[in-house]
Amino acid sequence: MKKIMPDTYFCLVLGLMFAGHYLLPIYEFLLFPYNLTGIPLVVFGFVWIMWAHQLVQNEKTTIKPNEKPSTLILRGPFRISRHPMYLGAILLLIGVALLLGSVSTFIPILFLYLLLRIIFIPMEECNCAEIFGEAYATYKSRTPAII
């Protein structure tokens, strides 16, 4: 059976955000033009994800949390967060929620956050600790997860 990856959950959450906003907009708290404050977060989150993804591709290692990485990347956004693609995804989704402006759009983001923290991040960190040992322990001690 093929495992569902984080990017699939990201797309599902994005769809749930739009559905929640248009079908059940609990409380619209951010109206135009104040909702435009979400644009910088969408752009930053997207750029952050792409930067981290490009580094992973350049190192020819995996982004799949259930696979064993071949390289420990310590530069770029990985200097700030051990999970920069997840951080970028959450920021992008928060930006979309601000653009939509209703409380219901934030609920699916919490679902994704919990899923990342409970399932995917522990799996990745276990793989990295197993493969990179002390180098990963040192990295982990000085670089926060930030998600």
pLDDT attached to residue 29: 82
Written as one letter, the residue type at 98 is L
DSSP 36: G
Burial of 108 (0-12, 13-18, 19+ CB in 10 A): buried
pLDDT at 2: 67
Q: Is residue 67 part of a domain?
A: yes
Residue type, 147: I
The whole domain housing 98 covers 6-142
How far apart are the C-alpha atoms of 132 and 47, rounded to whole Å?
28
In a domain, 1, yes or no: no
Distances 75 to 84, 122, 139 between C-alpha atoms, Å: 11, 21, 11
Global pTM reads: 0.92
In a domain, 92, yes or no: yes
Question: Is residue 96 a contact partner of residue 15, using CB atoms and an 8 Å limit?
Answer: no
- Please give the average per-residue pLDDT across 127-145, as a whole number: 95
**Residues written for the chain:** 147
Q: Which two tokens stand for residue 56?
A: 């992973």
On whether residue 40 sits in a domain, the answer given is: yes
Predicted confidence at residue 70, as pLDDT, reads 95
Asked, for residue 147, whether it belongs to a domain, the answer is no
**Domain for residue 37, yes or no?**
yes
Model confidence at 26, pLDDT cuts 50, 70, 90, reads confident
- For residue 102, the cross-strand partners are 28
* Residue 19 covered by a domain: yes
Domain count, the chain: 1
SS3 content of the chain, % helix, strand, coil (to 5): 70, 0, 30
